[in-house]
Amino acid sequence: MEKKTKMKVIIAIVVLFIVLMIFMMILKNLRKENAPRTSEENLAYINSDELEEGTISPDMIHVVIALYEGELNPKAISKSTYHFINHLVPEYLKKCKNDEVARKYFQKNKDNINFDIGISKEEEFVNLIHEIQKLSGNLEFESSRFDPDEVIVKSNHVEAVLYIKYKNNDEIAVTIRLSNKVYENKNSIKFYAN
């Protein structure tokens, strides 16, 4: 009788262990699916043909795309502006309260910033933060647009002014530079202050 009891206990422990392992794998996968993308993953997404449901392109983007003669997929331009407007601007507003904090944030996150918005210089980042700091409160996206009169075609890129409006805030303006070449280690789309 004692052997049967020991076997039952051992089997119960093994089954419990297997159930716990399965539960931990499921939990790990759920966390991974719900986790925000890393900068590298976001860049890979932006350069892909995939387009998430709900991605909204700025008004008049067709003018910019018509003048752009580079390697970027038009979807990449839409995805990158959407990510900037809906994720990065709110994050930067929340985390970069002043110049000193913005500089520290840049130093700590310079690789991600280069991946996300194509900025590799601290001063350019601080200038962009100055534009973003014109905003306040909990940002709720209202609209975005390109001005067709402010699109400049150059030999290796196109520049356009992107106007962004959030509810209960004045419109802000940033310049977007679309490189004619697609890069794997940095964003081919650069966002910076005018």
Distance CA 152, CA 135 (A): 27
- Domain co-membership, 128 together with 62: yes
Distance CA 113, CA 115 (A): 5
pLDDT in tens, the chain (194 residues): 577 777 778 887 888 778 777 767 776 665 544 444 455 555 555 555 555 677 788 999 999 999 999 888 888 888 889 989 999 999 999 999 999 999 999 999 998 899 889 999 999 999 999 999 999 999 999 999 999 999 999 999 999 999 999 999 999 999 999 999 887 767 789 999 98
Name the phi and psi angles at 192, rounded to 5: -150, 165
Segments forming the whole domain that contains residue 18: 1-35
Count of the separate structural domains present in the chain: 2
Q: Which two tokens stand for residue 190?
A: 């650069």
Q: What is the pTM of this model?
A: 0.74
| Ramachandran class of 119: left when φ > 0, alpha when ψ lies in -120 to 50, beta otherwise | beta
- Domain co-membership, 119 together with 172: yes
- Domain co-membership, 11 together with 43: no
- Domain co-membership, 74 together with 19: no
Q: Which amino acid is at 131?
A: E
